Homo-oligomer: A and B are copies of this chain.
Amino acid sequence: MKVRKFWGWGFQDQVLSKEEEASVESRIALNFNLDEVKAIPIPLAKEIDLPKPKIETPQALEKVLSADHLERLNHSYGKSFPDVARAMLGSFPHPPDLVAFPTNQAEVVSIVDWADQNNVAVIPYGGGSSVSGGVETDVGDSYSGVISLDLRNLNRVLEIDKESRAARIQAGIFGPALEEELKKSNLTLRHFPQSFEHSTLGGWIATRSGGHFATLYTHIDDFVESTTMVTPTGVIESRRLPGSGAGPSPDRMVIGSEGILGVITEAWMRLQERPSFRASCPVLFDDYDKALNATRLISQSALFPANCRLLDANEALFNGAGDGSKNLLILSFESADHEMDTWLNRALEIASDEGGQFEIPQEKKVDAHKSGASGTWRNSFIRAPYYREASVRRGIIQDTFETSITWDKGFEFIKILKEKAAEAIKEISGKESTVTCRLTHTYPDGLAPYFSYSAYATPSTMIDVWKEIKLMTNEMCVSAGGTVTHHHAVGRDHRIKGYDLQRPEGFKDMLVAAKQGIDPKSIMNPGVLVDPKGFKHKHWMDT
């Protein structure tokens, strides 16, 4: 098995080439007008001291609980900027006491029961790709201990129902393994979050993950047919139903519960046939507002493009997909059933009416989305996490924040957020920064803007600087009417000045009560989403 980085994204062998590292360094020097850029070294596991586990492994669970040093490091954090920064600095004050690796649902039940009886907090862990503090094991002193419950051994596709195009799948399966298995039946979940390679089905469901596609079937929410969740008071298994009007949807309570209600162990998922028809065309716009308007109209046309991703001119430039003078709309359609030219042509008509410039590709390529401007952007997108690591080592913050907003407010919202965030970053970090924007998803009633920035700091200041920026962006999104997170979950990092204000108070009361109903001792992922009854611990973000 490949060894995962405890200090960054992916596997230990997934790093930038020397040339890429050098390009990061020169870009940083150029961006922030620095004479010299120094990198802190990548930490070594053996050089990091961890506090001794506070709990002992009970004999009955010996096979599934581990106190292994590297596993404890690996399960201390997710992959947010401060997670990587703290790991890179070798700072691990609150590791899990133990890491659990159950191999089946019965073992998950045993672990949760034991934890419930022994006042041990349980942090469900899929791929550990959380960028919002969702898997962090810092739960305070009121618990006897804390375990990280890693689902990676629950990694099988258990059953495929080809007629209904659905499969029963274990929660710990990673994206590539899942797709490989489904491919044998010419099926696909067609859910490709940026974290795809390093995240799991259970994680996607727990965090309401957003896929790569821009419209219609892209959110994990829509693919869930039924779920099974282990809670401290029992297993909750919903029924496989294509549709039902029987009360509030049980699955919609599980989807987005971020581990605070239980451990998702498996789910029946709705699948699709693998697309064989594709039609795509990049469209350029001089005017950003017109580009936005074209995106709006296409989103409202019921054509349902697979991709309808608008990159502003700077975003295109920084991703090597433009010279910074034009806004780029990546438009593509996919189908397993029929040619999509009619669809694409109508969408291009709409774009053209708003001043969009394009050349319809003469030759249809199966992998058109992997070539040209779309392809350049795609590669940049996939390699982004590795570039970020290289920045962290140099104290430079490269981060993103995303939200969603209705169209009526969207145009002004994007403009103001880019400006205000850039100003605030300058004030916080002391150096100029450009905030760029792409739309990751569009809806008939609104859009999901995704902002990227890079901010100056040094290895010793970067965590504080990041925190100030994070609280500022949380607040900006929420106070302007958006959501604090469109598809990166709430975790612990999005609560302060964000989710805690956004969420209706009465809904919090319901959620806390519902948690109490099935997790009376509040052992499940305490501090995520809500504070369970009696929970007092302050998270580092809140201090």
Contact = CB atoms under 8 A, between A and B. Distances in A.
Contacts of A507: 236, 238, 250, 253
B443 A253 contact: no
A513 interface: yes
A140 interface: no
B489 A445 contact: no
Nearest to A257: B248
A233 B404 CA distance: 29
A255 B246 contact: no
Given A303-B337, A502-B239, A517-B514, A246 B406 contact: no
A62 interface: no
Quick one: copies of this chain in the complex?
2
A245 B256 contact: yes
Interface string A337-351: 110001000100000
Interface stretch (A160-168, A170-178, A392-400): A160-168
B407 A444 contact: no
Given A163-B407, A247-B511, A490-B246, A253 B256 contact: no
A243 interface: yes
Interface in A229-279: 229, 231, 233-250, 252-258, 261, 270, 272-273
B243 A506 contact: no
B270 A302 contact: no
A469 to B, nearest CB: 19
Nearest to A516: B513
Contacts of A511: 247-248, 514
B484 A300 contact: no
Interface stretch (A88-96, A205-213, A353-361): A205-213
A445 B164 contact: yes
Interface in A420-446: 441, 443-446
Interface of A: 161, 163-166, 207-210, 219, 225, 229, 231, 233-250, 252-258, 261, 270, 272-273, 296, 300-304, 335-338, 342, 346, 404-408, 441, 443-448, 481-490, 494, 499, 502-507, 509-514, 516-518, 529
28 contacts: A163-B407, A164-B407, A164-B445, A210-B243, A225-B406, A233-B509, A235-B506, A236-B504, A236-B505, A237-B504, A239-B483, A240-B481, A241-B405, A243-B483, A244-B483, A246-B485, A246-B502, A247-B258, A248-B255, A248-B256, A253-B253, A270-B445, A273-B300, A302-B336, A302-B337, A510-B514, A513-B518, A514-B514
